[in-house]
Amino acid sequence: MNWGNKILFVFIAFILLIGTLVYKSFHVQTELVSPNYYNDEIAYQQVINASNNMSNLSKNIEIEQQGKVFKVRFPEEINPKNVSGEILFYCAYDSKKDLKFPLQLDSSGFIQYENEKLKNGTYTFKANFREKDKNYWVEKSIIVNE
């Protein structure tokens, strides 16, 4: 084999390698944290203020998993009758696993969620709620097990 054939072989191998990489790059799934991340970033000061409001309470939200049920307990200062908001179970690596629920506290400040829809893995529990004239924001990392 002469040097001309070796150069041609290396050139063809390089073209095949680049073609394979381009083909694979078109089939990689990428997800954004939020589809409208720019607007979310502009309004982030509200999240900071709501998080500070939550840290001023005597206790934080407590999350407990018992079998297939998540029990979420809110601090006693939060009046269950005056609360409105939503809870998000956010899965960072797969947006199809995200679950959003309206916030509906019972009279003792508890919420129970069945986790049959939640797959095993790590989630970020995000609670965004309002009581009277104050906004509150909580984020906690949880692990879902069956």
pLDDT tens, N- to C-terminus, the chain (146 residues): 789 899 999 999 999 999 999 999 998 877 767 777 778 778 888 888 888 988 888 888 888 888 778 888 888 888 878 888 999 888 888 888 888 888 888 877 788 877 677 788 888 999 999 988 889 999 999 888 76
**What is the secondary structure of 28-86 as a DSSP string?**
-----S-TTHHHHHHTHHHHHHHHHHHHTSSS--EEEEETTEEEEE--TTS-GGGEEEE
CA separation for the pair 127, 142 (Å, rounded):
13
Q: Are residues 20 and 52 in the same domain?
A: no
Which residue range is the domain that position 15 belongs to?
A: 1-30
Q: Are residues 53 and 71 in the same domain?
A: yes
Q: Are residues 42 and 24 in the same domain?
A: no
Which tens digit of pLDDT belongs to each residue from 101-135? 888 888 777 888 776 777 888 889 999 999 888 89
Best CA proximity match to 32, nearest among 116, 111, 71, 90: 90
- The DSSP letter of residue 95 is G
Q: What's the number of domains the chain is made of?
A: 2
